[in-house]
Structure 1
Amino acid sequence: MSYAIYPSLKDKTVVITGGGTGIGAAMVEAFAGQGAQVYFLDVAEADSLALQNSLCNAYHPPHFQRCDLRNVDAITEVFSAITDKAGPIEILVNNAANDDRHDLDTVSPDYWDDRIAVNLRHHFFCAQKAAQSMRTNGHGVILNLGSISWHLALPDLAIYMTAKAGIEGLTRGLARDLGSCGIRVNCIVPGAVRTARQMKLWQTEESETRLIEGQCLPERIEPEHVARMALFLASDDGARCSGREYFVDAGWYGA
């Protein structure tokens, strides 16, 4: 298969959260393949360093920055370090998340706060820092990663789905507030993506069969499919796209 090249992405400074594995790693590889200057944040050091090393021959080799996104001070510090080194951030991909399952009766206030910090809060504060940088240029793109889960009401994910639903609301709010500054904000909504984590923890032969039956397209979604939507929305080709959700779910309506 052949895929589009987006000249407008070359040399752009891109920050990707949760870029060490899964969809995030596909984002890092895809943007680096377009000639962008990629900085990716994660707490998974071994996987992130391995990814960085595997892309050392890219036009602009990606840079890994360790950052616990639950810590707003750490977000401020790492974004400042990136802008000091690379100049204004032009594209932010808010990808980091964790879909741990939870039983309703065992959720404590501390667990709730931690899950919201992991899955929602950093979207706002990373966007806040990136927008400060983007205003310098008078343009920019913020892409938030949502989830099909709350659209389907999947079990044992109440807090995760709350966060992901909130991301769609946040996207529209940011798009309105930042549009006058030339900053576009969109939400990508992946379906069931075949990542190593999903296959290890949640998928079985039986669930794979049900999943395919519930999709309009009987093909599994790979991380690269989500990344290619991000490339379009971040590029000049998506210049009039803002404040919306874009699904990459193979038409999954449940089974």
Structure 2
Amino acid sequence: MSNATFHDLKGKSVFITGGGSGIGASLTEGFLRQGAKVGFIGKSDATEFCDRMEQETGTRPLFVQGDITDTPVLQQAIRTVSEAHGPVNILVNNAANDQRHQTLDVTEEFWDWSQAVNLRAYFFACQAVIPEMQKAGGGSIVNFSSTSYMMGNGGYPAYTAANGGITAMTRSLARDFGPDRIRVNAIAPGWVLTERQLEKWATKEALEAHLERQCLKDHMKPQDVVEAVQFLSSDTSRMMTGQCIAVDGGVVTVAA
């Protein structure tokens, strides 16, 4: 449950990439509970998740199945949601893939795929919603970056390169479209313990080592990120744009 109510999110049209699993599913639920109309794109079937959200929140999110690396499919999904819910007021670029890889093993195909998932799709989702936001007199875009590149993490250089690019792109778009009252911010989560993280990398030793680096000695949950995204989406943060906010328990502070 949310610790805060953002009254101005009620009735807003929200589009989330990857909104049916992981942090994305928590984002979808969080916005529904704020009274927003939520649409999302996802590669895997999310019908069961939508059924559960309708039962638990009283509102069914609009799911469009598709691959965000297919730009026409992604932009058509945004149009579909806009037709159903009204022009998108809030875009959350959440979908990403942090598959581990070694520099000497990376092929051009893998590099291009990683950038397509983790950076290119963000740009073209922004491109699709900006004209609608301009006509509406404003809007909010929240791009998911990561603290991984800020910390100089190894083991996935294509992913960290994309996340550095997301932060840079966020600042440029904020500058270009600020006169239209379109705010563009980024959020950089720390290690959020989703099912994927717990299954693949969250060993007891890794968790203990990471917690040692955090200022705040609690493991992060998806809800910690959801409320930060809602803050950036709401007019509560109306004079914030071009920012990248780390929500990581203080790891970056320690690493710096």
TM-score, length-scaled by structure 2: 0.96
Report how far residue 87 of structure 1 moved.
Answer: 1.8
Cα deviation code 1:49-105 (max 9, x no counterpart): 222111104253211111201011111211222222222110000000000000111
After the TM superposition, list the runs of 4 or more consecutive aligned residues in structure 1 that deviate by more than 4 angstroms.
none
Instruction: Give me the identity figure in percent.
Output: 38
The answer for the alignment partner of 2:43 in structure 1 is 43
1:97-119, CA deviations, whole angstroms, 9 ceiling, x for partnerless residues? 00000011111111100010011
SS at match of 2:54: coil
Instruction: Give the match for residue 19 of structure 1.
Output: 19
Q: Structure 2 vs 1, CA of residues 127 and 2 (structure 1 numbering), >3 Å: closer, same or farther?
A: closer
Matched with 2:10 is 10
Give distance in 1, aligned partners of 2:2 and 2:161.
Answer: 37
- Cα deviation, 1:122-156, whole Å, max 9, x if unaligned, reads 00000010111111211100000000101111121
Q: CA distance change for structure 1 residues 60 and 133 in 2, over 3 Å: closer, same or farther?
A: farther
Give a deviation string over 1:180-210, Cα, whole Å, max 9, x none. Answer: 1110000001001100001101110100110
**Counterpart of 2:242 in 1: which secondary structure?**
coil
Unpaired runs of 5+ residues, structure 2, are none
Would you say the 8 A contact 1:17–1:24 is kept in 2?
yes
TM-score, structure 1 as length reference: 0.96
Q: Residue 32 of structure 2 aligns with which residue?
A: 32
Paired residue total: 253
Counterpart for residue 250 of structure 1: 249
Which segment is superposed worse, 245-254 or 98-107?
245-254
Q: How does 1:1-255 map to 2 (within 5 A)?
A: 3-45=3-45, 48-57=46-55, 58-252=57-251, 253=254
Question: Counterparts of 1:94 and 1:183 in 2: how far apart (Å)?
Answer: 15
| Structure 1 gap ranges (5+) | none
- Once superposed, what is the RMSD of the aligned Cα atoms? 1.4
CA contact (8 A) 1:35 1:59 kept: no
Summarize deviations over 1:205-247 as a string: whole Å, max 9, x none.
1001101101001100001100000111111111111000111
Question: Aligned with 1:56: secondary structure?
Answer: helix
CA distance in 2, matches of 1:81, 1:44: 18
Contact in 2 for aligned 1:127/1:142 (Cα 8 Å): yes
